[in-house]
Amino acid sequence: MEQVLAQVFEMQTLVLVFAGVFLGVVFSAIPGLTATMGIALLIPYTFSLPQVPAISMLLGIYIGGMYGGSITAILIRTPGTPSAAATLLDGYPMAAKGQAGKALNYATIGSFVGGIISCIILILIAPQLAAFGLKFGPAEFFALAVFGLSIVGTISGKNVVKGLIVAGVGLFIATIGMDPIGGVARFTFGSINLTSGVSFIPALIGLFAVSQVIKEIEEKATGHNKKKIKYKRERISLKETFSYWKEFLRASVIGTFIGIIPGTGTSIATFLSYNESKRFAKPERRKEYGKGIPEGVIATETSNNAVTGGALIPLLTLGIPGDVVTAVILGGLLIQGVTPGPLLFQNNGPLVYSLFITLIIANIFMLLIGLFAVRFVGKIVDVPKNVLLPIVVTLCFIGSYSLSNNLFDVWVALAFGVIGYLLEKFNYPLPPLILGIILGPIIESNLRRTIIESSGDLSVFFTRPISAVFLTIAIVSFLYPLFKDLWRKLKGKESIEEDIPA
Amino acid sequence: MKKEGFVNVIMLLLSFFMLYMVGKLPEPNATQELGPGFYPKLIIYMIIVFNVLQLVMLFLTKVKASDEASEFQFSRFFIMIAIMTGYVLSLSYIDYKIGTFLLIFSLMLLLGVKSYKLLLSVSVISVGTIYLLFEVLLNVHI
C-alpha cells in the first residue's frame, strides 16, 4: 500500500493528473473537440513517462472531458460533447433565468458526485458487474436502445406526436451510409462522404449551436430578443445540495450501470437519467422540467461522469472498451505495457489500486477546477451577443472540420443548423432527433443480429428476461404519453406546461 | 391550412421519395432475413403514420395563436445562410484565415456592430486564437 500511495502522491503524478483534468475540461468545452481527441493527441507525450503518471494523465483527461461539455451547454446552448446534449435541456433555461452560476455549480457538484460514486462501485464490485455487463447480447442491446428511445415522450414537451416524428427522422438519418450487416450503401446518392453515415458530432453542433446562432441573429432583427442573460455568482449551500441526494444517487447508479454495458455510451445514460428524474419527481415539480430546474442539470451531469467508473469496469476487468474514449485509453494502457483483463488484478495489483486512487484524485481536481472556473467562464454570457455569436459559429465550423479534417463535416454542421432552426420555428423539439441519431445504429444492428441468431423468431425478445423487462417498460412509456396527448388534443383541453425549449 | 401543416406535407413527400429509394436497395438474401431495406422502410412508415396523425390533429384542434410558427424574417435568414454557405465554400478555395476573418466581420455587421475598431479587433484576435489553437497546438491543417 505504501508503494501505491508513494506512486500516486508523487508531485509529477499529481501535476500530470491536474493538467489532464484541465485539458479535458478545455477540450470538451470547445465545440468539436472531444476528450477522445485530447487523449489521442497526448498519448505520444506519455511514451517517455513512467506507467502510473502516464495512465493517470489519460484518466484525468477522461474525467475532465466528461464534465467540460456542460459549461458551454449551460452558458451558450452549445454542447461541447455529446454527453452534454441533455444538460442543455434544463441548463440553458436556468442560465436564461439568470441562474447560470447555480447551474454550473450543480453541474460541477453532480459530475464530482457521479464520478466518486462510480469509482467506489468500481473499487468494490468491479468483477461481478463486469460479468453482468457480458450478459447483454443483441436482444438485450436492442431492448435497452428501444427503452432509451421511449423517453421521447419526456423530452418532447407539449406535443408528443411531433417528438415522435422528429425521433423517426433521427432514426432515419442514422440509416444513411453502410448497412451494418450486409455493407450495402444506403441513401448516399453516390457521395463517398456519406458511406460512413452522417457524422454525429457535427450534426449535434449544427442542431443546437448553429441553429441557436441563426435564431439569435433573427431575433435580434425582429426585436424579440429583449431578454439578456446575465451572469450572477451564486453559491449553493451544503443543505441545498444535500436536498437533492436522491437525484445524485439515482443518476450515479444509472450512469454506472450504462457505463458497464459495452457499446452504449454516455448520451444514453444522460437522457435515461433525465427521464427517470422526471418520472420520479412530484407531479407539480415534473411540470418544471425543461424550464430550468437544478434536478435536470444534476440528473444529466451526475450520470455522465458516473459513466467513467462504469466504463472502466469492463475495460480493466475484461479488457473490453465500452466506447471510443475507453478504446483510446486501452491503447494508452497497452503502450505502457499494461494488458487489461482478469489477470491484471492478480499480476499488477499495485498499479490497479494506484489507478483507483488516481481516479478519486482526478474527480477532486475536477471539482476544484470546476468551482474555480465558474467565476470566470460564467462571464461568457456577459459578452455582447453581437460579438459572441460570430465567434461561436466560427468555432462550430472549425471544430467540426478538426474532428476528421473533412470539409464535409462542416457542411453537415451547417445543414443541421438550418434543419434545427426550421424545426424549432415550427415548435418541433430537437432532443428526440439527437436521440434517434444516437440510438438508430444500435437498434438496427442488434435487431437484425437477433433475428439472424434466432432464425426469425421474434419471441426471443420476450423470452430473455433482461430484454423482456426493458421492452415492456419501453412499450408502456411509449404508449402512455402518446394516448394522453391524443386524448388531450381531441378533448380540446389545454396542454399542461411541460415544455422542453431545446 | 395552418402553416404547420406544410411541414408535415413536405415530410410526407420526402418520406414517399425515400420509400421509392428503399425499393432500389437489394433484396434480402438467405443469411439476412431482413435485408438492408427493412429497417429504413419501417422507420419511414412510422414517420408517415405520425405525420398523418399530426395533420389530423391540426384539422381537429382549434387554432391558437401560440401554436403558429412565429414571424419569419426571410431576408435576414437568407443573408445569414448565404454568409455561412459562402464561408464553407471559401474553405476549399481561399486561406481559411481570410474566410474566417470575413465571416466574423460580416456576421458582426449583420448583428449591428458599427464600430470599425471593434469589428477589426474581434475578427483579427479570433482568427489569431483559432490559428494558435488549431494549427499550432492541435496540428489541424485547415
Q: Scanning every residue of chain B, which has its alpha carbon at the shortest distance from the alpha carbon of A222?
A: B73
Residue whose C-alpha cell is 431482413: B34
Does the pLDDT value for residue A278 go beyond 90? no
- Residues B91, A411: C-beta atoms closer than 8 Å: no
- Residues B69, A187: C-beta atoms closer than 8 Å: no
Residue A411 cell numbers, joined:
457542411
Residue that wins the pLDDT comparison between A264 and A88: A88
The contacts of residue A424 (CB under 8 Å, 6+ apart) are A211, A215, A430
| CB of A428 closer than 8 Å to CB of A162 | yes
Residue B12 pLDDT? 94
| C-alpha–C-alpha distance, residues A68 and A369, integer Å | 10
- Average pLDDT of the residues in A381-400: 83
- Average pLDDT of the residues in B45-62: 87
Q: Scanning every residue of chain A, which has its alpha carbon at the shortest distance from the alpha carbon of B113?
A: A386
C-alpha A391 chain-centroid distance: 24
- What residues are paired with A274 via a beta bridge? none
Task: Count how many pairs of residues, chain A against chain B, have C-beta atoms within 8 Å.
Answer: 167
Q: In angstroms, what CA-CA distances link A144 with A139, A174, B60?
A: 9, 17, 36
Mean pLDDT of chain A: 83
Q: How confident is the model at residue B63 (pLDDT cuts 50, 70, 90)?
A: low
- A123-151, pLDDT tens digit by residue? 887 767 667 767 788 898 888 888 888 87
| CB of A114 closer than 8 Å to CB of A248 | yes
Does the pLDDT value for residue A4 go beyond 80? no
Chain A residues with CB under 8 Å of B133 CB are: 30
Backbone angles phi, psi at A181, to 5 degrees: -100, -50
Residue that wins the pLDDT comparison between B105 and B138: B105
- Residues A426, B33: C-beta atoms closer than 8 Å: no
- Residues A402, B107: C-beta atoms closer than 8 Å: no
CA distance A212 to chain B (A): 12
Q: How confident is the model at residue A55 (pLDDT cuts 50, 70, 90)?
A: confident
Does the pLDDT value for residue A402 go beyond 60? yes
CA distance B87 to chain A (A): 9
C-alpha B139 chain-centroid distance: 28
- Residues A217, B61: C-beta atoms closer than 8 Å: no
Q: Scanning every residue of chain A, which has its alpha carbon at the shortest distance from the alpha carbon of B68?
A: A426
Residue B81 cell numbers, joined:
445562410
Among A265, A212, A232, CA closest to A421: A212
**ipTM of this complex:** 0.89
Q: Scanning every residue of chain B, which has its alpha carbon at the shortest distance from the alpha carbon of A385?
A: B111
CA distance A165 to chain B (A): 6
Residue A498 pLDDT? 46
Residue type, B83: I
- Residues B60, A489: C-beta atoms closer than 8 Å: yes
| C-alpha–C-alpha distance, residues A330 and A354, integer Å | 17
- Listed in sequence order, the DSSP H helices in A97-188 are 100-133, 138-149, 152-155, 160-173
- A293-342, pLDDT tens digit by residue? 999 999 999 998 998 888 888 788 777 776 777 877 888 888 888 888 77
- Residues B50, A179: C-beta atoms closer than 8 Å: no
Chain B residues with CB under 8 Å of A165 CB are: 8, 11, 47, 50-51, 54
- Residues A447, B40: C-beta atoms closer than 8 Å: no
- Residues A394, B100: C-beta atoms closer than 8 Å: yes
Q: Exposure of B57 by Cβ count < 10 A (0-12 exposed, 13-18 middle, 19+ buried)?
A: middle
Q: How confident is the model at residue A500 (pLDDT cuts 50, 70, 90)?
A: very low
DSSP string, B64-82: -GGGSPPP--HHHHHHHHH
Q: Which of A161, A187, A426 sits opposite B7 (nearest CB)?
A: A426
Assign residue A112 a region: left if phi > 0, alpha if psi is -120 to 50, beta otherwise? Answer: alpha
